[in-house]
């Protein structure tokens, strides 16, 4: 396991290295040292030059192969810092690290395309910087940024265009599949929230075909099972399962977790995955209730900014991991966050505490069903229609009276309309002479 030092600069206050350390470990690194600085950004080194010297000493002392910065570094800052470090020590900024993790987790064609798109969008301004310097200074490879290739910038733009077109085609197919699921009577519920909030464990608790801790493939036509490891970005793609919530047929989708301080270009690169959230009928926003209240507040604000930009579905906030929180502390957090999370559901995906309450809340928050009563003739296709209603709606009564069948049911409005059309197509039996 490669040894790294993590570092962070902040303009004011104290720098928190918890998340960047978790991210580094998620990428497979061993964190062997830490360094922080509170000061305004230095244009040449990001940190102060003296602090970079201190960083170089730490890297040498700990025999680290890289420094992972919880900051976004410019190409010149990256070069300048690398020049101060021991030979072969690498400089990795926050977004390079996240892209590295994404690349490790990309197991589907869509995920691989999204990672490639994000990498290209990250590289484009650097290619443009090389071009600008080469033209201005007429020195290829100026400041160690690499040989200037006149065609590289255009190649990147062409690749971005190609990948976006392929992702758009995948998104169209997924939208068609979502509509087919709705037409089959399913409500679509998405799990959203930060990494390590416990979304995958909660999904396993709600899913009809999973046990908590189970990580096996269940059927070749189903998506891979959501994992529940204590690891960031375990779920990069989407995982969909049928959920047990009550009388309604619910498909629950777990998606990639949010991470703080992501630039717009990186979020946009994963828009195809986030469409599973934006186009759901209901969103469960999962928050780790064991975190400090200010951290919960910050994550709720960022999550709302991400969700409300495009999402139209109702959002239910879920305070997860309540098994780690005392009742009094939980009530204090409820009160402190009531403006951001009115009437949250407090659960433990690990122990199952209050999961039934969450299932009831899901049923109550989903788009209203319509109640319908059909009087059907005993025709050749009548029983097929009754069977179809059991598959696509919640049938409350089925009665036979002479040559007629009375069926009472609740369903999505689209299913009710389709049932009415099917009923109108039934022909009454003809009398035989």
Query: 195 among the known binding-site residues?
Result: yes
Q: What residue ranges in 261-355 does DSSP mark as E strands?
A: 282-288, 315-320, 345-346
**Does 290 belong to an annotated binding site?**
no
Quick check: 273 and 256 in contact, CB under 8 A?
yes
Taken in order 24, 26, 29, 30, the sign of the CA dihedral is: positive
Write the DSSP string, 225-244. Answer: PPP--SSTTS--S-EEEEE-
Half-sphere exposure of 157 (CA within 13 A, CB side): 8
Ligand-binding site membership of 14 (annotated): no
Spell out the residues 6+ positions from residue 93 whose beta carbon is closer than 8 angstroms to its own: 68, 69, 71, 72, 73, 78
Is 239 within any annotated ligand binding site? no
Q: Does the annotation flag 320 for ligand binding? A: yes
311 is in an annotated binding site: no
235 is in an annotated binding site: yes
347 has binding-site annotation: no
Cβ(9)–Cβ(46) below 8 Å: yes
The answer to the question of whether 350 is labelled as a binding residue is yes
The first and second tokens of residue 305, run together, are 């900014």
Q: Residue 42 annotated as binding?
A: no
A 10 A CB-CB count for 426 gives 18
Are 311 and 278 contacting, i.e. CB atoms less than 8 angstroms apart?
yes
Q: Is 28 annotated as a binding residue?
A: no
Contact 395/407 with Cβ under 8 angstroms?
yes
**Beta strand spans in 235-306 (E):** 239-243, 250-254, 282-288
CA gap 216, 229 in Å, rounded: 14
| Cβ-based burial of 63 (10 A; exposed 0-12, middle 13-18, buried ≥19) | exposed
What sign for the dihedral angle of Cα 256, 264, 152, 98?
Answer: negative
213 labeled binding residue = no
Cα–Cα dist 378/372, whole Å: 19
> Does the annotation list 196 as a binding residue?
yes
Q: How far apart are CA 94 and CA 31, in angstroms?
A: 14
Cα-flanking dihedrals φ and ψ of residue 131, to 5°?
-65, -45
Query: What is the C-alpha to C-alpha distance for residues 378 and 423, in angstroms, rounded to an integer?
Result: 11
Is 141 annotated in some ligand binding site? Answer: no
Known binding residue 198? Answer is yes
Q: Is 349 annotated as a binding residue?
A: yes
CB atoms within 10 A of CB 166: 14
351 is in an annotated binding site: no
Q: How far apart are CA 168 and CA 159, in angstroms?
A: 14
135 is in an annotated binding site: no
Where in 236-307 does DSSP place strands (E)?
A: 239-243, 250-254, 282-288
Say whether 69 sits in a helix, a strand or coil: strand
Residue ranges at the known binding site for Mg(2+): 200, 235
Residue ranges at the known binding site: 193-200, 235, 254-257, 320-323, 348-350
């Amino acid at each position: 396991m490669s040894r790294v030092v993590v570092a962070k600069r902040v303009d004011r206050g104290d720098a928190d290295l918890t998340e960047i350390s978790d991210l580094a470990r998620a990428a497979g690194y061993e964190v062997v040292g830490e360094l922080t600085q509170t000061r305004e950004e230095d244009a040449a080194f990001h940190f102060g030059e003296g602090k970079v010297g201190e960083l170089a000493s730490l890297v040498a002392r700990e025999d680290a192969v890289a420094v992972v910065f919880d900051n976004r570094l410019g190409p010149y800052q990256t070069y300048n810092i690398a020049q101060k470090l021991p030979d072969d020590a690498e400089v990795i900024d926050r977004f390079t690290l996240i892209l590295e993790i994404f690349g490790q987790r990309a197991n589907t064609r869509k995920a691989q395309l999204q990672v490639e798109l994000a990498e290209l969008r990250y590289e484009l301004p650097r290619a443009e910087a090389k071009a600008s310097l080469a033209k201005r200074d007429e020195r290829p490879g100026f400041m160690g940024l690499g040989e200037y290739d006149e065609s590289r910038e255009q190649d990147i733009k062409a690749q971005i265009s190609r990948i976006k077109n392929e992702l758009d085609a995948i998104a169209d197919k997924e939208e068609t599949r979502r509509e087919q699921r709705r037409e089959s009577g399913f409500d679509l519920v998405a799990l959203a929230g930060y990494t390590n909030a416990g979304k995958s464990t909660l999904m396993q608790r709600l899913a009809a075909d999973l046990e908590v801790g189970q990580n096996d493939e269940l059927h070749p036509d189903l998506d891979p099972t959501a994992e529940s490891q204590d690891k960031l970005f375990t779920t990069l793609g989407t995982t969909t399962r049928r959920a047990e919530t009550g009388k309604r047929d619910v498909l629950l989708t777990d998606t990639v977790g949010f991470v703080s301080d992501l630039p717009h270009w990186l979020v946009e690169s994963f828009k195809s995955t986030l469409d599973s959230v934006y186009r759901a009928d209901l969103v469960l926003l999962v928050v780790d209730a064991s975190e400090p209240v200010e951290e919960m507040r910050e994550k709720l604000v960022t999550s709302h900014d991400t969700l409300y930009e495009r999402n139209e579905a109702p959002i239910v906030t879920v305070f997860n991991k309540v098994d780690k929180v005392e009742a009094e502390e939980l009530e204090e957090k409820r009160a402190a966050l009531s403006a951001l999370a009115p009437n949250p559901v407090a659960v433990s995906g690990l122990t199952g505490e209050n999961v039934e309450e969450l299932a009831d809340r899901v049923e109550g928050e989903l788009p209203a069903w319509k109640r319908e009563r059909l009087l059907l003739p005993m025709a050749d296709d009548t029983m097929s229609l009754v069977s179809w209603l059991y598959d696509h709606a919640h049938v409350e009564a089925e009665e036979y009276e002479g040559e007629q069948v009375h069926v009472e049911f609740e369903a999505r409005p689209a299913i009710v309309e389709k049932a009415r059309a099917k009923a109108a197509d039934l022909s009454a039996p003809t009398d035989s002479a």
